[in-house]
Amino acid sequence: MLLRKCSFISNIFVRKKKGTQLSADNIFYIQNSNLEKINKTVFVCCEENEKIDQAIHNLSIEDCGRFAIDKIMGGQEIQLMSRPWLALLYFKTKNGSYAFKCAGTLINKRYVLTAAHCFLDQELLSVRLGEHYISQERDCRGDFCAPPVEDIDIERIFVHEKYSRVTRHNDIALVKLSRDVEVKENITPICLPTNYDLQQEVNNMAKFHVTGWGKNENGPFSDFPKQARLNRIDRLQCQNSYPSREIVSTQICAGGVGYDSCKGDSGGPLSYIKYLNDYQRIVQYGVVSIGKRECGNGSPGVYTNVGSYIRWIAYKIATK
**Fold classified for 196-307:** Thrombin, subunit H (2.40.10)
> ∠ CA 95-96-97 to the nearest 5 degrees?
100
User: 266 an active-site residue?
Assistant: yes
- The pLDDT-based confidence of 163 (bands split at 50, 70, 90) is very high
- With contact defined as beta carbons under 8 Å apart, do 103 and 213 qualify? yes
* Class of the CATH-defined domain 83-190+311-319: mainly beta
Instruction: Give the residue, 51 or 273, on which the prediction is more confident.
Output: 273
Contacts of residue 15, Cβ cutoff 8 Å, sequence gap at least 6:
22, 26
* Interval 33-90: pLDDT, tens: 666 777 777 777 665 667 777 788 778 767 899 876 554 444 577 889 999 999 999 9
pLDDT at 20: 73
Query: Active site residue: 23, 25, 117, 132, which one?
Result: 117
Enter the pTM of the model. Answer: 0.84
pLDDT at 238: 92
Q: Is the pLDDT of residue 101 over 60?
A: yes
Q: Is the pLDDT of residue 157 over 90?
A: yes
Residues of the chain with CATH 2.40.10.10: 83-190+311-319, 196-307
Enter the DSSP assignment of 247. Answer: -
Query: Active site residue: 222, 266, 271, 308, which one?
Result: 266
User: 143 an active-site residue?
Assistant: no
Query: Active site residue: 25, 139, 171, 260, which one?
Result: 171
User: 171 an active-site residue?
Assistant: yes
